[in-house]
Amino acid sequence: MGTVILESLRAWWPEAILSLGALLVMVLGASTRRSQPALGVAWAAVLASGAALWRLHAPAGTGLFFGLIVSDPFSLALRWIAWGSVAIVLLLLMASREMERTLRGECLGLVLLVGVGLMLMAEANHLLMAYLSMELVSLSSYVLVGCLDEPRSAEAALKYLLFGALSSGIMLFGMSILFGLTRALAFPDLLRASAALDGSMTHALRVAVALLLAGLAFKISMVPFHMWTPDAYEGAPTAVAALLSVGPKAAGFALLLRLMTALEPAWPSLAPLALWLAVVTMTLGNLVALAQTNVKRLLAYSTIGQVGYLLIGVAVHTRFSLEGLLLYLVAYLFMNLGIFACAVAVVDDAGSESLEAFRGLARRAPGVALLCALFLLSLAGIPPLLGFFGKFLLFGAAIEAHLAVLAIAGIINSAVALYYYVNIIRLMYLVAPATSSPLATGPAIRWALGVCGAGTLLLGLFPGALLGMLRASAVVNLL
Amino acid sequence: MLLTLLLLCPLSGMLIVLALPRTAVRAIRAASLLSTGAALIVSLALLRGFQTSQAAMQFHERLSWIPQLNIFYSLGVDGISLPMVLLTALLGFLACLASSSITERRKEYYFLYLLLEVGMLGTFLALDLFLFYVFWEIVLVPMYFLIGIWGGGRREYSAFKFFVYTLAGSLAMLLAILALYFRAHTFDMVQLASMGHTLDLAFQRLLFFAFFLGFAVKVPVFPFHTWLPDAHVDAPTPISVLLAGVLLKMGGYGFFRIAYPILPEGAQWFAGAMAILGMINIVYGAFVAMAQTDFKRLVAYSSVSHMGFVLLGLSSFNREGLNGALLQMFNHGTITGGMFLLVGVLYERTHTRQLDAFGGLGARVPVYAGLLTFFSLASLGLPGLSGFVSEFLSLIGAFGIWVWPTMISVTGIVVAAAYMLRVMQLVLLGALNERWRTMPDITPLEVASLVPLLLVILALGCYPLLMLQIQEGSLQQLLAHVLGR
């Protein structure tokens, strides 16, 4: 037993370092009121974990910790995305003025723990681990959403918690039915046992899977489990909203794909449902986003719209769509964290979350405005940015699988979404600023903007290398 | 490497402008003029090295870009794209010359202007559908800003309308490109064209329609034209020149380069509708132009009318028609580009575009009057000037096949004569409006931006073979390919 743990640990250093860092940061936070030491430790942990990830080479399908988690190229790609979102969000936390008073050990520690949870979600190979990792992410996020000293932050956290608890309950119910049917918890066993089911039991399986998906739908803000998203984003500190909008979405998709593979026998009857949920999710997100005047709410609905595009990758379920999904997740990481970085800068400066705060940004901070426009155009899917290439692959996958309805829905939605994305560009470039004082940005936000901008533009111009790397991770059989 | 060099001219100019400080206005303008001028020189070098006897792609360049998807950085010119490249480089330089009227936020202006030129040139050079789409979309973004920031009137509305219309159209095209890829597993236009006849008819019709939506918005084909008057009128003068002169041609070029060769049966299936739409464009555009009181709006609607001849020529599927259509694209670029420059000259001095606000300017500004008369006559299709040749060829080509649409289209020329003569009468003749008693005549710089166009119009009017011999080989080949002979 000892050797198994030691062996497993070798492929698990990134998470181990991050967890230790998180605990240390929390202890530091309890003992000193200054944020500097905690920040230092947090960064040390993040960088060390990144180095450990870099040195890791994951052979296909190695079960770790008695098969609870699995380390394969697919999870490695998702772990990088989780790591990237945590690192960039740390930068945003440092830059954000609203967090100045509350940026102590607890918050930083929780962010790192979210990172651990995200990585675990990507690796989970067992229902128990899937549940635990999701709860780790959820519980940490509830607190993070409520960490501002304001009533609306607490309200948002409570709303988020209630919704989260409900969907966790539904998910657990689904899991218990599943266990009753198959007497298995590990994903490979689930696949074997569910394939052996026949007769009326397959209906029960379908019900169990549907309930299970409800829990995941909550994490990735899929309609009809999206309602918490705008409220939680609005109440949460902007940097935390940024984390919620990227990390859990990516990890949720990873877990969804793995679960789908494990429950392959139930999939054919659920595929039409997934298809329509994708269409409804993108349409609802984009249409409601049109009417938003608050930056964070707008970005929340934009997230829902983007999740709809990502769901194309799930609904199509081919090797090509998986590549598209992974690539779009990378694109989404850069462009969405980028736009949130702009939002942090603008909201901090204006003290208001109204879209009006973006007025005339091009004259007050040309660099920020240019990058902001870049991220928005990438979200809207304008070439040669990475967001376009991701959409290109996803829509292509839909056409390849003869599901043109998905591609057409995606196209129409892209045209609709253009309206609210370009509206922000209009405010920045075509409207005179309310104040003429230049908008100052600190080094942290500049780093975040620079990294996201470089990712969006350079990877968009030369997506070949990224695609080549992801191709290795995109294996349809994830078990 | 000549084609990459051509793209690098405006691209490097753009980077230089980006690096220059905001206040170095002269340096920014000099860099822009130099880079657009260099692009013009390179395009003339292309013309020099071009083998008219050869129908295939020339100056071909091909580099792997995204190997996983078989996407190449593939450029080339033939008799169809070379006229468009020349037009773009020429108007790109002249409109840059005319950009001296832009006086605020100049660094941003020239940065976006050069990005726009990269996109336009790339669209005409690309031989890979993915690359083509990227360039096609790159054009939208700077255009949005150029209209929205430096335009007049309802510029925000017009810029946004332009963006949404064109994007919606091009998204339909994107679907068609994807569908083609998963049929043929290549984005290479030449390779796709060689497979053209093997695609089944229903598939070809569907795809042709999708491509049509993308191109029709750009041309613009009635009823997708409503963005055009707004965008053209509200854009600043140099941008109007590029909009009318080059952007509209991207749509027509798409038919020649993509829709016709790759979907030959689909194209023939659509020919009747194309003829009818061309007819509507010609007649409707002309009558609406006739009703305008705003000079710029009138020229904008005359574009709708003139682009109708391109559609009519395209619908004919014979040598005369296709030659006429392609030549009409070039000629419309030079003539209407000149008209927009002239409207800009007038607007800068008077700050009005209302036709009835002028009068009697012929005696006051004789040089301007001469130029306006020349370009108006070219626009109405006076024999001896280039517009006549191409409209005539389009009509001849279409007449043998679509008798009635062609006959109705001819009335468009009559109406064109009416509205253009009305312009001359209202602006140049009659009693001088006292408000313009001290109006200065056209400056040498403005004349310099018009004279090259004038010479081209005159040369092609007298000796159209100059351009026709460039087009001929490639168009013959296209025709033989589409008709399957």
Q: Tokens in use for A208? A: 């169990």
Report the chain A residue with the minimal C-alpha distance to residue B155.
A430
What average pLDDT score do residues B358-385 get? 90
Over chain B, what is the mean pLDDT? 92
Residue A61 has pLDDT above 70, yes or no: no
For residue A155, give Cα distances in angstroms to A42, A225, A240, A398: 28, 18, 15, 40
- Contact residues for A58 (Cβ-Cβ < 8 A; gap 6+): A11, A71, A72, A73, A75, A76
What pLDDT band is residue A103 in, cutting at 50, 70 and 90?
low
State residue A351's pLDDT score: 84
B66 touches chain A (CB under 8 A): yes
- Let me know: does A54 contact A134? Beta carbons within 8 Å: no
Mutate to test the interface with B, among A425, A431, A470, A471 (most CBs of B within 10 A): A425
How many domains does chain B contain in total?
1
Describe the crossing of helices B386-399 and B295-314 by its angle, rounded to 10 degrees.
Answer: 40
Gyration radius of chain B's alpha carbons: 21
State residue A136's pLDDT score: 94
Pairs of residues, one from chain A and one from chain B, whose beta carbons lie less than 8 Å apart: 71
Please indicate, yes or no, if residue B279 is contained in any of the structural domains.
yes
Residue A20 has pLDDT above 80, yes or no: yes
Among A148, A392, A134, which Cα is nearest to A247's? A134
- Let me know: does B234 contact B151? Beta carbons within 8 Å: yes
Query: What percent of chain B has pLDDT above 70?
Result: 100
A402-415 per-position pLDDT tens digit: 998 999 999 999 99
Residue B473 has pLDDT above 80, yes or no: yes
Distance of residue A451 Cα from the nearest chain B Cα, in angstroms:
20
State residue A349's pLDDT score: 87
B347 touches chain A (CB under 8 A): no
What pLDDT band is residue B485 in, cutting at 50, 70 and 90?
low
Please indicate, yes or no, if residue B388 is contained in any of the structural domains.
yes
Report the chain A residue with the minimal C-alpha distance to residue B156.
A430
What pLDDT band is residue B246 in, cutting at 50, 70 and 90?
very high
State residue B71's pLDDT score: 93
Q: Is A478 helix (H, G, I), strand (E, B) or coil?
A: coil
What pLDDT band is residue B396 in, cutting at 50, 70 and 90?
very high
Q: Which residues of B are less than 8 Å from A430 in CB distance?
A: 148-149, 155-156, 159
State residue A1's pLDDT score: 67
Pairing relationship of beta strands A69-71 and B58-66 according to DSSP bridges? unpaired
Please indicate, yes or no, if residue B351 is contained in any of the structural domains.
yes
CB contact under 8 A, B133 and A463: no
Q: Which residues of B are less than 8 Å from A388 in CB distance?
A: 137
Please indicate, yes or no, if residue B199 is contained in any of the structural domains.
no
State residue B197's pLDDT score: 87
C-alpha B121/C-alpha A48 separation (Å) is: 47
B68 touches chain A (CB under 8 A): yes
Residue A70 has pLDDT above 90, yes or no: no
State residue B358's pLDDT score: 85
Q: DSSP assignment, residue A265?
A: G
State residue A229's pLDDT score: 92
Please indicate, yes or no, if residue B22 is contained in any of the structural domains.
no
Distance of residue B155 Cα from the nearest chain A Cα, in angstroms:
9
What average pLDDT score do residues A275-287 get? 94
What average pLDDT score do residues A17-45 get? 88
C-alpha B43/C-alpha B169 separation (Å) is: 30
Residue A59 has pLDDT above 70, yes or no: no
ipTM of the complex: 0.91
What average pLDDT score do residues A274-299 get? 93
Residue A185 has pLDDT above 80, yes or no: yes
CB contact under 8 A, A422 and B181: no
C-alpha B452/C-alpha B37 separation (Å) is: 13
Residue B336 has pLDDT above 90, yes or no: yes
What average pLDDT score do residues A353-376 get? 92
Residue A85 has pLDDT above 70, yes or no: yes
Please indicate, yes or no, if residue B73 is contained in any of the structural domains.
no
B163 touches chain A (CB under 8 A): yes
Mutate to test the interface with A, among B175, B203, B206, B234 (most CBs of A within 10 A): B175
A112-138 per-position pLDDT tens digit: 999 999 999 999 999 999 999 999 999
What pLDDT band is residue B441 in, cutting at 50, 70 and 90?
confident
Please indicate, yes or no, if residue B304 is contained in any of the structural domains.
yes
- Give the lowest-confidence range in A89-103, A246-260, B174-188, B208-222: A89-103
Mutate to test the interface with B, among A326, A363, A406, A426 (most CBs of B within 10 A): A426
Distance of residue A256 Cα from the nearest chain B Cα, in angstroms:
26
B32-43 per-position pLDDT tens digit: 999 999 999 999
Beta strands in A78-175 (DSSP E): none
CB contact under 8 A, A464 and B67: yes
- Let me know: does B31 contact B117? Beta carbons within 8 Å: no
Q: C-alpha angle B13/B18/B23, rounded to 5°?
A: 110
State residue A476's pLDDT score: 58
C-alpha B405/C-alpha B277 separation (Å) is: 9
- Give the lowest-confidence range in A262-266, A460-464, B187-191: A262-266
B45-54 per-position pLDDT tens digit: 999 999 888 8
For chain A, counts of helices (H) and of strands (E)? 20, 2
Q: Which domain holds residue B327?
A: 270-485
What average pLDDT score do residues A146-160 get? 89
Among A204, A69, A205, A206, which Cα is nearest to A131's? A69
Please indicate, yes or no, if residue B249 is contained in any of the structural domains.
no
State residue A477's pLDDT score: 66
CB contact under 8 A, A430 and B148: yes
Q: Tokens in use for A354? A: 């109204």
Mutate to test the interface with B, among A405, A422, A428 (most CBs of B within 10 A): A422
Q: Is A226 helix (H, G, I), strand (E, B) or coil?
A: coil
State residue A471's pLDDT score: 85
CB contact under 8 A, A382 and B163: no
B61-116 per-position pLDDT tens digit: 999 999 989 999 999 999 999 999 999 999 999 999 999 888 888 899 999 999 99
Residue A77 has pLDDT above 70, yes or no: yes
